[in-house]
Amino acid sequence: MAGLDSRSQQLYRRAREVIPGGVNSPVRSYSRYPLFVASAKGSKFKTVDGQEYLDYCMAYGALIDGHAQAEVIDAVEEALEKGSIYGQPTEMEVELAELIASLMPSIQMVRLVNSGTEATMHAIRLARAFSGKKKVLKFEGGFHGSHDSVLVKAGSGATLLGSPSSEGVPSDVAKNTLVSRFNDEKIAGKVIRDHSSELAAVIVEPVLGNIGPVLPKPGFLETLRKITLENEVLLIFDEVITGFRLSIGGAQEYYKIRPDLTILGKVLGGGLPISAFGGRRDVMEKLAPIGPVYQAGTYSGNPVSVSASLAILQSLKKRAGQLYSRLEKMGDVMRRGIGDHLESARITAQVNGVGSMFQLFFTDRPVTDYHSAKSADIRTYEEYFHSLLASRVFVPPSQFETCFLSTAHSEDELDATLDAIGTAVKTLPR
Ligand SMILES: Cc1ncc(COP(=O)(O)O)c(C=O)c1O
């Protein structure tokens, strides 16, 4: 019955023959088939079937000014005309590094790479080399890309040693990653102290974004900073989501904590692939060619991505005064509006978020860490997702992802979305 299928369904069938699962990143796979996108502008995307959706996924947080932002397009077009890659340094790279350092004072030196995965991988290697220690500590529910050292979950029983969260990750590698509980400063403190002689770094998303948004409890990040300093363990803030999103200086500015190293990505690229890791000069100077830590990349600092990054950061910097408070207000409107709808539909759920990040969790437990997030009912979320989809509102298909606002979302669109959410929650099982 191919004739009755939508173009998305037809493409999905073709894709599954030649692309594992039909998608190039597993989050894009959901029931019954992913929407295939033809174009996007501002707050909306259009599918290959010509239907328009209001987008609250925003490429998993990469877009803060919406799709196809004019300043980024102009910058990329101008850069492309001059050649897409040289394999030589450019003036733009220097400007971008200076700009990043000026926006995030903890970053004295920065290295550009192409993805968040690459950045955390290299930052961890760098931390190991700098400290001469080999273990790292991450938190349950924290996501730092898809390389071996971070595809690790808590081990069984009382052990804190990580075990692989993906086949193909050697347990010999995973055991060098310790896993602790987000928002539990007592356990984290004890792990850091007990393992300080072998612990190179603590890597943390200051706001967890990859199990839905989970905020740090007051004092949690401060304690991490204090105990890592006392024990000569590097503190790495993975700000791939929060960098330039929570504020122009990221979560470190928002929560007033100075990490040793920072990972940037997503918003940094204005929609193009670029990522970065940077921080203390004495640590960053360990990188090749001036130091013994090897790290390299053909496409690193390519002029197309760098031009997009410069365009978005310069533009955000100019507007930062109003932009972040406006996004925070929009986030409040969504969080409050969703809460009101849940209450009037008598649905028990939690609404989490900060700034332009939000999500609801179908659970009666406050969501403060991985375990409370995982208590959410994913079947109910799936119904909610499909109900919104029917209203042409696209939120992340997984309960354990974050919804993102952009400056391109209008007040009317937020109102219409809240109406759609009201309708969706009314039909959910109580
Ligand atoms: C906090 C965090 N770190 C690292 C990554 C990996 O970044 P990338 O997908 O660019 O490899 C992600 C991706 O979602 C992320 O959210």
Count of structural domains, the chain: 2
139 and 247 assigned to the same domain: yes
Rounded Cα distance between 87 and 282, Å, is 26
DSSP calls for 164-180: ESSTTS-HHHHTTEEEE
pLDDT tens digits for range 41-86: 999 999 999 999 999 999 999 999 999 999 999 999 999 999 999 9
Checking if the pLDDT of 210 tops 90, the result is yes
Which of 316, 333, 367 terminates a domain? The answer is 316
**CA dist 146 → 150, 151, 238 (Å):** 7, 6, 14
pLDDT tens digits for range 386-429: 999 999 999 999 999 999 999 999 999 999 999 999 999 999 98
pLDDT computed for residue 128 by the predictor: 98
Rounded Cα distance between 163 and 429, Å, is 36
33 and 92 assigned to the same domain: no
Domain around 40: 1-12+24-55
145 and 205 assigned to the same domain: yes
pLDDT band at residue 4 under the 50/70/90 scheme? confident
209 Cα–ligand 1 center, Å:
10
Q: Is the CB of 93 under 6 A from ligand 1?
A: no
Mean pLDDT taken over the chain: 97
Q: Is the CB of 220 under 6 A from ligand 1?
A: no
51 and 149 assigned to the same domain: no
Checking if the pLDDT of 159 tops 80, the result is no
209 and 297 assigned to the same domain: yes
pLDDT computed for residue 157 by the predictor: 61
Rounded Cα distance between 333 and 414, Å, is 8
pLDDT tens digits for range 194-207: 999 999 999 999 99
Question: Atom of ligand 1 at shortest distance to CA of 115?
Answer: 10
134 and 165 assigned to the same domain: yes
Rounded Cα distance between 48 and 39, Å, is 8
Phi-psi region of 334 (alpha: psi -120 to 50; beta: other; left: phi over 0): alpha
Q: Is the CB of 60 under 6 A from ligand 1?
A: yes
36 and 162 assigned to the same domain: no
pLDDT band at residue 158 under the 50/70/90 scheme? low
Ligand 1 pocket mutation, candidates 266, 300, 305, criterion most atoms within 8 A of CB: 266
Residue 394 lies in a domain: no
Which of 316, 346, 366 terminates a domain? The answer is 316
Q: Is the CB of 241 under 6 A from ligand 1?
A: yes
pLDDT tens digits for range 291-348: 999 999 999 999 999 999 999 999 999 999 999 999 999 999 999 999 999 999 999 9
5 and 152 assigned to the same domain: no
pLDDT tens digits for range 265-298: 999 999 999 999 999 999 999 999 999 999 999 9
137 and 4 assigned to the same domain: no
pLDDT tens digits for range 410-422: 999 999 999 999 9
pLDDT band at residue 161 under the 50/70/90 scheme? confident
pLDDT computed for residue 154 by the predictor: 86
Question: Atom of ligand 1 at shortest distance to CA of 205?
Answer: 1
Residue 330 lies in a domain: no
pLDDT computed for residue 155 by the predictor: 79
306 and 262 assigned to the same domain: yes
Checking if the pLDDT of 152 tops 70, the result is yes
For the record, the structure tokens of 212 come out as: 């839905």
90 and 28 assigned to the same domain: no
Q: Is the CB of 42 under 6 A from ligand 1?
A: no
154 and 228 assigned to the same domain: yes
Rounded Cα distance between 117 and 411, Å, is 35
Ligand 1 pocket mutation, candidates 113, 143, 204, 272, criterion most atoms within 8 A of CB: 143
Which of 253, 285, 316 terminates a domain? The answer is 316
- As a whole-number percent, the residues of the chain with pLDDT over 70 amount to 98
Q: What angle do CA 83, 87, 89 make, to 5 degrees?
A: 90
